[in-house]
Amino acid sequence: MAPDTSAEKSAITGQTHSATSEGQGSPDAKDRGHQSNVSRGRRVYLAIVLVLVVVLALALGLGLGLGLKHSSRSNSDDSPGSPLPSSPQTPSEDSQASLSVPTWRSNVEDYTLDTASWDFHAPPTTREYKFTLSEVQLSPDGVFRTMIAINGRFPGPLIRANMGDRLIINVQNNLPNGTAIHWHGLFQNGTNWMDGTSGITQCPIPPNGGRFTYNFTLENQFGTYWYHTHYSTTNGDGPVGPLVIHSPDEVKMQKYYDVDQVVLLQDWYHDYSQALLPDYLASGSENGEPVPDNGLIQGTNYFNCSSLDSDSGYVCEQNSTRAVLTVEHGKRYRYRLINAGAFATFQFSIDNHPLSVIEADGTATEPLSVHRVDIAVAQRYSVVLNANQSSASNYWIRAQLNTFCFGDDNPVLDADARALITYTNSTAAPTDSVDWKDALDVECIGLNSSLLTPMFETEAPPATIMYALAANFQIGDYAIDRAYINGTSWVMSAVPTLNQAVAGLEAANSTFTTLGVSSAFSANQYVIDVPDVAIVDLLITNYDEGAHPFHLHGHSFWIVATSPDQYFDWSTYPALNTTLSNVLKRDTIMIDAFGWALVRFVADNPGLWALHCHISWHMESGLLMQFQTRNDIMRT
Ligand SMILES: *[C@@H]1O[C@H](CO)[C@@H](O)[C@H](O)[C@H]1NC(C)=O
Ligand SMILES: *[C@@H]1O[C@H](CO)[C@@H](O)[C@H](O)[C@H]1NC(C)=O
Ligand SMILES: *[C@@H]1O[C@H](CO)[C@@H](O)[C@H](O)[C@H]1NC(C)=O
Ligand SMILES: *[C@@H]1O[C@H](CO)[C@@H](O)[C@H](O)[C@H]1NC(C)=O
Ligand SMILES: *[C@@H]1O[C@H](CO)[C@@H](O)[C@H](O)[C@H]1NC(C)=O
Ligand SMILES: *[C@@H]1O[C@H](CO)[C@@H](O)[C@H](O)[C@H]1NC(C)=O
Ligand SMILES: *[C@@H]1O[C@H](CO)[C@@H](O)[C@H](O)[C@H]1NC(C)=O
Ligand SMILES: *[C@@H]1O[C@H](CO)[C@@H](O)[C@H](O)[C@H]1NC(C)=O
Ligand SMILES: *[C@@H]1O[C@H](CO)[C@@H](O)[C@H](O)[C@H]1NC(C)=O
Ligand SMILES: *[C@@H]1O[C@H](CO)[C@@H](O)[C@H](O)[C@H]1NC(C)=O
Ligand SMILES: *[C@@H]1O[C@H](CO)[C@@H](O)[C@H](O)[C@H]1NC(C)=O
Ligand SMILES: [Cu+2]
C-alpha cells in the first residue's frame, strides 16, 4: 500500500491560505519586527553551534541568508475585527456541525483507517513522507491566528505503517524559528538521533528552509502514537498528527470492532504560543499557565464569536463547526483517542454509549467498560463504541476540559468541547442525547492505570537500580518561577547532549562514564548516567500543587504503583521490587498533585532520553531531565 497520499499534498494550500492573513489582528502580530532581529542573531548563533553536528552540516547553508518574508508583515488592520458579520451559510444552527470541511483541515475521512485493504502481513517496506512546516493564518474554530501547519494541513497528516517498516520523513522547515519533530512513544532503539528532541538528540532544523530527513524503523511496538514538534512550546501551535503502527497481532483486538478511526483531541489557544510564553515566564507570574480558549475534536469545534470583547482585536468568523462522525447501526467503532494538546486533560465520553477501553499508549488491553475516560496530555486510549442506540437522534461526543487543571478562569472557554455522532448522516441537533450522570472530576487526574490489564502478557523483572526524583516549582530571584527536577531547571542546550556524550565517550573522557547524576554537562542539564542494561525503578514525587503528565522518550514503562499522597513509604519497596506479571506499560503517566508514581523500565536502548512533563508550558519552564544509557554501545 502506498504511503498516505494526504502527506504528499504540497504546501500549496498553506501558501494560499496565508494570503487570508493580511490585516488579521492577532495580538502577536505587533511583535514581528522585533522578533525578526532576534531571529537573525539566533541563526548566526546556530550556525556556529551547528558546525559540531555532522548530520546537519548540509542543511546549514539553507538556514542562512534567506529573506524575512514571514516576519515583516505589519498589522495595518486597525478595525476592531471582532466579531465579523455572521456568514450566510450556517448549515445547522443548533448543533453547529457541518459535513463540509475547509480544504486545509484533516477531517474524519483522513483519519479513518481502511482496514479491509490494509495488508497487516505485508513484508517490511519503506514508507516515505514529505513534511513542510510553515506559518499560516487559519481559523480552526473561527478565530484567525498565526499557527504552524504541516503541508498546509491542520491537524497534521496521518502516518500509517506496519511494525518492521522503515519510515523516511523529509522535513523542510519554512518557519522563522528552528524546529524538530519528535515521534512520540517510538523506541528508536539504535537511532537515538532520530528522536527529534531539540538540544538533546539534535540541533533544531534551521529556520527559513532548513531540511532534515528522519529515517528509522518501527520495531517491537504497534498501536497508537503521534508526532509533534519538540522545540519550545511550538507543539501547541498546530504541528501535530497521528502515527499508527499495525501488526498481525492486532487481529486479536479486531474482534472487538469493525471500523478503526483516529480521534484527535487538543486544547486550543487563540494566540501563538510564542506570544503567550513571555508573560508565562515573566517575573511574578507564579506558574500561571495560559488557560486554553477552546477544545478541538478532529481539529475543529464551535466557537461563539460574540463571547469575545469587541476590542479584543481577534478576527472571528462565525462559521466554526463541530466534527461529525458517522456511524452505521450495529457496527462497532474503535476510536483511537490522542490528546495532542498543550495543557488540558480531557474527560472523554459519548452520550448514551458506554465505551470500552482496549488500548493505552500503544499497549493493547483487555476491554474496560467506562462512561468517561480521563486523558492527559500526550496520552492515548483506544475506546470502542457500539452503535446500538436509536438512529432517530444524533448524539454528543464530549471532550470536557478538566478546569481543575487550570490555575485561572478563561471567560471565553466553553469547557464542554463537542462533536457529533450521527446514524443518519445528518447534522441536526441531538434530541435524545443524554450526558452520563457520573460526576465530572473535581480534581486534576488521569485514568488510574491499575484499572487496565494488558491483552498480551508481559513480565517486569525486579529492578537492578532505583532512582528517586523530586519535581517542583520554585520562585527564585526577581520573583521568577521555574520548574525543577532535583534542583535543576532545564534549559535547551545549544549543543545537543547526545553529541556531547558521544564526543566524550569517544575521547574516553571518564566524566561521561561516571554512573549516577552526571557532572559532564552544564548546570542546567540533569542527566543520570545509567549502568549498561539496567532495570530501572524510578520514583517520581510531585511536590507541586498541579498534576503533571510525565513522558519518557524511547521506552515504555510498567506502572508499579501510584499514589495521590505525597510520601512514598520506603518500607513497602521490597514488596514492590519483585517480578510483576502483566501490569500496564505506557509512555506517559499523570502524576497527581502532591502524589507520586513508581515506574520501571529496561534501559537497554542507547542514547540520551528525555523524561519530562508534557505540558508544554512546564517543559519550557524546566521540567525535564535525561537518562544516558548504553555507554557501551554509544562509545562504538
Ligand atoms: C522564535 O523566533 C522569534 C523571532 O523570529 C524569537 O523572538 C523567539 O524567541 C524565537 N523562539 C524561540 C523559542 O527560539
Ligand atoms: C535510511 O537509513 C538506512 C539505514 O541506515 C540507509 O540504508 C538508507 O539509505 C537511509 N535512507 C535515506 C533516505 O537516508
Ligand atoms: C453567543 O454569545 C452571546 C453573548 O454571550 C449569546 O447572547 C448567544 O446566545 C451565544 N450564542 C450561542 C449560539 O450560544
Ligand atoms: C470560515 O470563513 C473563513 C473566511 O472566509 C474561511 O477562511 C474558513 O475556511 C471558513 N471556515 C469554515 C469552517 O468553513
Ligand atoms: C449497547 O452496547 C453496549 C456496549 O456494548 C451494551 O452495554 C448495551 O447493553 C447495548 N444496548 C443495547 C440496547 O443493546
Ligand atoms: C452524507 O451527506 C453528504 C452531504 O449530503 C454526502 O455528500 C455524503 O455522501 C453522505 N455520506 C454518507 C455516508 O451517506
Ligand atoms: C530488587 O531486588 C533484587 C533481588 O530480587 C535485588 O537484587 C535488587 O538489588 C533490588 N533492587 C533494588 C533497587 O533494590
Ligand atoms: C533527588 O532528590 C531526592 C530528594 O531530594 C533524593 O532523595 C534523591 O536521591 C535524588 N535523586 C538522585 C538521583 O540523586
Ligand atoms: C571531560 O569532559 C568534561 C565535561 O564536559 C570536561 O570538563 C573535561 O575538560 C573533559 N576532560 C578532558 C580530558 O577532555
Ligand atoms: C490507583 O489505584 C490503586 C489501586 O486501587 C491505588 O492504590 C492507587 O492509590 C491509585 N492511584 C492514584 C494516583 O490514585
Ligand atoms: C534495543 O537494542 C539493544 C541493543 O542493540 C538490544 O539489546 C535490546 O534488546 C533492544 N531492545 C528492544 C526493546 O528492542
Ligand atoms: Cu507539568
How far is Cα 418 from Cα 398, in angstroms, rounded to an integer? 5
Closest ligand 9 atom to residue 519 Cα is 4
User: In terms of domains, do 445 and 464 share one?
Assistant: no
76 within a domain of the structure (yes/no): no
Task: Give mean pLDDT, residues 66-78.
Answer: 28
* Residues whose CB is less than 8 angstroms from the CB of residue 294 and which lie 6 or more positions away in sequence, other chains included: 141, 267, 268, 270, 301, 303, 412, 413, 414, 417
Q: pLDDT-based confidence at 3, cuts 50/70/90?
A: very low
Q: How far is the CA of 99 from the centre of ligand 6 (A)?
A: 8
The predicted pLDDT at position 26 comes to 33
Mean pLDDT of the chain: 87
601 within a domain of the structure (yes/no): yes
The predicted pLDDT at position 66 comes to 29
The predicted pLDDT at position 107 comes to 78
95 within a domain of the structure (yes/no): no
Q: Where are the beta strands (DSSP E) in 430-547?
A: 459-460, 465-475, 481-485, 516-517, 527-529, 534-542
User: In terms of domains, do 436 and 506 share one?
Assistant: no
11 within a domain of the structure (yes/no): yes
Helices and strands: H and E segment counts in the chain: 9, 34
How far is Cα 44 from Cα 49, in angstroms, rounded to an integer? 9
How far is Cα 395 from Cα 571, in angstroms, rounded to an integer? 50
Which residue minimizes the CA distance to atom 1 of ligand 5? Answer: 388
User: In terms of domains, do 444 and 489 share one?
Assistant: no
Does residue 220 line the site of ligand 11, with CB under 6 A?
A: yes
Residues 598, 604, 608, 610, Cα dihedral to 10°: -30
379 within a domain of the structure (yes/no): yes
User: In terms of domains, do 467 and 585 share one?
Assistant: yes
Q: What is the DSSP track for 240-265?
A: EEEEEEE-GGGHHHHTT-SEEEEEEE
Among 451, 470, 496, identify where a domain stops: 451
Among 451, 470, 486, identify where a domain stops: 451
Range 81-117 burial, b when 16+ CB lie within 10 A, else e = bbbbeeeeeeebeebbbbbebbebbbbbebbbbeeee
Q: Are 552 and 517 in contact (CB under 8 A)?
A: no
Statement: residue 162 has pLDDT above 50: yes
Task: Give mean pLDDT, residues 402-414.
Answer: 97
One-letter identity of residue 494: A
How far is Cα 632 from Cα 605, in angstroms, rounded to an integer? 11
User: In terms of domains, do 324 and 426 share one?
Assistant: yes
Query: What is the residue whose three cell numbers read 532535583?
Result: 486
Statement: residue 8 has pLDDT above 60: no
User: In terms of domains, do 407 and 464 share one?
Assistant: no
Q: What is the DSSP track for 520-589?
A: SS-TT--EEEPPTTEEEEEEEEE-SSS-EEEEETT--EEEEEEESSS---GGGHHHHSS-EES--EESEE
Does residue 52 line the site of ligand 6, with CB under 6 A?
A: no
The percent helix, strand, coil of the chain (3-state, each to 5) is: 20, 35, 50
User: In terms of domains, do 195 and 273 share one?
Assistant: yes
User: In terms of domains, do 482 and 547 share one?
Assistant: yes
Output 404 or 63, whichever has higher pLDDT.
404
Angle at 7 between CA 612 and CA 616, to 5 degrees: 20
Which residues have any ligand 9 atom within 6 Å of their CB? 504, 507, 509, 511, 520
Q: Are 231 and 177 in contact (CB under 8 A)?
A: yes
> Closest-lying ligand to the alpha carbon of 99?
6
Domain that holds residue 18: 6-63
Does residue 386 line the site of ligand 5, with CB under 6 A?
A: yes
Which residue minimizes the CA distance to atom 11 of ligand 9? Answer: 509
74 within a domain of the structure (yes/no): no
Q: Are 422 and 326 in contact (CB under 8 A)?
A: yes
User: In terms of domains, do 541 and 588 share one?
Assistant: yes
Give residue-wise pLDDT tens across range 172-228: 999 999 999 999 999 999 999 999 999 999 999 999 999 999 999 999 999 999 999
Which residue minimizes the CA distance to atom 1 of ligand 6? Answer: 425
> Closest-lying ligand to the alpha carbon of 97?
4
One-letter identity of residue 103: T
Task: Give mean pLDDT, residues 443-456.
Answer: 97
Output 24 or 551, whichever has higher pLDDT.
551
User: In terms of domains, do 469 and 445 share one?
Assistant: no
* Residues whose CB is less than 8 angstroms from the CB of residue 249 and which lie 6 or more positions away in sequence, other chains included: 222, 364, 456
Q: Is the pTM of this model over 0.85?
A: yes
Identify which of 42, 208, 232 to mutate to test ligand 1's pocket (most ligand atoms within 8 A of the CB).
42
User: In terms of domains, do 114 and 185 share one?
Assistant: yes
CA separation, residue 290 to residues 107, 147, 344, 406, 422 (Å) = 27, 17, 11, 8, 34
Does residue 388 line the site of ligand 5, with CB under 6 A?
A: yes
Among 410, 434, 451, identify where a domain stops: 451
Statement: residue 448 has pLDDT above 60: yes
List the CATH number of the domain containing 285: 2.60.40.420
Give residue-wise pLDDT tens across range 355-391: 999 999 999 999 999 999 999 999 999 999 999 999 9
98 within a domain of the structure (yes/no): no
Q: What is the DSSP track for 406-430?
A: -SS--TT--SEEEEEEESSS--PPP
513 within a domain of the structure (yes/no): yes
HSE-CB for 212 with a 13 A CA cutoff:
31
Q: How far is the CA of 154 from the centre of ligand 4 (A)?
A: 13
Q: pLDDT-based confidence at 495, cuts 50/70/90?
A: very high
> For the chain, how many structural domains are there in total?
3
User: In terms of domains, do 518 and 426 share one?
Assistant: no
How far is Cα 373 from Cα 176, in angstroms, rounded to an integer? 38
